[in-house]
A and B are shown apart, each in its own frame.
Chain A
Amino acid sequence: MITFKDVSLRYDRGAGVKNINFSVQRGEFIYLIGPSGAGKSTLLRMLFMDIFPNTGSVQVDHFDSNTIKRRQIPKLRQKVGMIFQDYKLLDDRDVFSNVALPLQVIGVSTREIERRVTKTLEEVGLTHRRLYYPSELSGGEQQRVSIARSIAKDPLVLLADEPTGNLDMGVALEILNLLWRVNAKGTAVIMATHNIELIKNRPSRTFRLSHGEFKGELLP
């Protein structure tokens, strides 16, 4: 479902990633670890087709980084959820509307939105917060909203860049467990993190990166 083939990317100022090769199947749970600057975010952004490799190709489902057209990128992003350390919620609307956003954008009917958002909020355990604004929520709760928003459309894969970076260990573990529940429903998850202690709780296939290079993978 996801393939990196001889991927290299150089930023204007240097650094980036070199010669990356790996593939990920449907429904897998992958950790991406490595020190700061290793290139984890760079790989995730390429999967999201936010940036493109200089050489090699990135394939996601039937999209290929070398042939995708600009107007197809939204289509790709409707199949690829992405969450970040800083949640990126809209603070001018409540939890319900934040989660509804990706559905509204593709013109899903109000009734169907109501049904799906309600179900998704239940899955992330935020039913009681549906009318709260992001600023009224804890960090852990905000990350749950962000996860809910990214899975409301049943994506093929959920990309998580440092999703627990701003959370303490207890809350981080709750978020990790939630990601595993999402995974159990069939969505592949690729999570970049520094937090080795955290992922020891939930071992899985792990890719190691350093200085932009692939340093092999660890199996649980």
Chain B
Amino acid sequence: MNLSFIFKEGLSGFKRAKFPFIVSVVTLSICLTLIGVSIMIGDNIFGYFREVQSDFDVQMFYNPQASNSEQHAALEYCNTYPGVMTTVYISRNEAVALFQEEFGENIFDILKDNPFPASVRIGFDRYHQNVGYISGFKASLEQLPGIETVTFHKALFLKLTAILRVLTMVGGAFVLLLFIASVLLTSNTIKLIILARFDWIETMRLIGASDFTIRSPFLLEGAFQGILGAILTLGAVHGVEAGIMKLTNLDLNSRLMQFPEVIILLFTTGIILGVLGSYRAVRRFIYMVV
């Protein structure tokens, strides 16, 4: 194979068309930023609704006479139940505080004794958030000793599930559209590169190069552009974060680029965009050259 040749031609391609190359990298970087920002916003909205929903997962109330070991065993049961993600213990005193927070009144102004039992709020991970599964869990909890009642607001839960599903679909469709738009946009700028290398393509066909050999350097160049676009985006995000911190004197506690997943995703998306954009441009162009 002539891989080293393809590699060399791909990496030296930008010398022949510097301006279109830079335009492509900047375009890719803008697309990456847009995609990234949309995913971030979408994820936050999703997270918010999910948080609201987890309040409506399951809450179990202890019997006031429940012994320590009974309480402990019930909590342990929840913690080891498959699909349970969070368990939050709410003591009787905490329940009083929560009541005050929610209704603005101190319960002891109304009643002499604390009427609230201790309870545990239980949240499920996204793979187990279906009504049937949670209802089964609720029924099994009610059998345990020391448990007074178990609540599960099925109707609300279902409504929120529906909202989340719509959100996921709309968000996914939006990001997909953005992705397709990015491919079209980059493939248009990459066309400029191919135009600038018309003579190269013509010569390659003249000497009997296969379509694969002619195409591959452009795809490689696309990948290369994707990597540069990702680096540019990384730099821009760093700059913006540093600017925010300086201006507001705020310490951003979660900097986007601290997460290796984010960086890997950024580079992967950049490379995929660059390669797809090149592929589209090359495919439509190469046949036109004679």
Contacts and interface: CB of A to CB of B under 8 A. Distances in A.
B208 A105 contact: yes
Contacts of A73: 208
Given A50-B290, A107-B1, A101 B203 contact: yes
B206 interface: yes
Given A88-B199, A88-B202, A92-B16, A77 B5 contact: no
Contacts of A102: 207-208
Given A104-B5, A107-B1, A74 B208 contact: yes
B208 A77 contact: yes
A92 B9 CA distance: 11
A32 B252 CA distance: 78
Contact of A92 (B15, B206, B209, B213): B15
Contact of B210 (A74, A88, A90, A101): A74
Contacts of B213: 105
Given A105-B207, A107-B2, 9 more contacts: A50-B290, A74-B208, A77-B207, A88-B203, A89-B203, A92-B16, A101-B203, A102-B208, A105-B208
A181 interface: no
Interface string A75-115: 11110001000001110100000000110111100000000
A66 to B, nearest CB: 20
Given A50-B290, A92-B15, A92-B16, A105 B199 contact: no
> B5, B204, B207 — which one has the most chain A CB atoms within 10 A of its CB?
B207
Interface of B: 1-2, 5, 12, 15-16, 199-200, 202-211, 213, 290
7 nearest A-B residue pairs (beta carbon) = A77-B208, A107-B2, A102-B207, A78-B208, A104-B5, A105-B209, A74-B208
B202 A105 contact: no
Contacts, number: 52
Contact of A90 (B2, B200, B290): B200
B2 to A, nearest CB: 4
A75 B208 CA distance: 7
26 contacts: A70-B211, A74-B208, A74-B209, A77-B205, A77-B207, A77-B208, A78-B208, A88-B202, A89-B203, A90-B200, A92-B12, A92-B15, A102-B207, A102-B208, A104-B2, A104-B5, A105-B2, A105-B5, A105-B204, A105-B209, A105-B210, A105-B213, A106-B2, A107-B2, A149-B207, A150-B207
Interface in A35-94: 50-51, 70-71, 73-78, 82, 88-90, 92
Contacts of A76: 208
Interface residues of A, number: 23
For the residues of A in contact with B, the DSSP-based class is helix
Interface in A197-213: none
B210 to A, nearest CB: 5
Nearest to B8: A104
A89 B204 CA distance: 10
Nearest to A98: B203
Contacts of A107: 1-2, 5
Contacts of A92: 12, 15-16
A85 B183 CA distance: 40
B202 to A, nearest CB: 7
A96 to B, nearest CB: 14
A89 B199 CA distance: 9
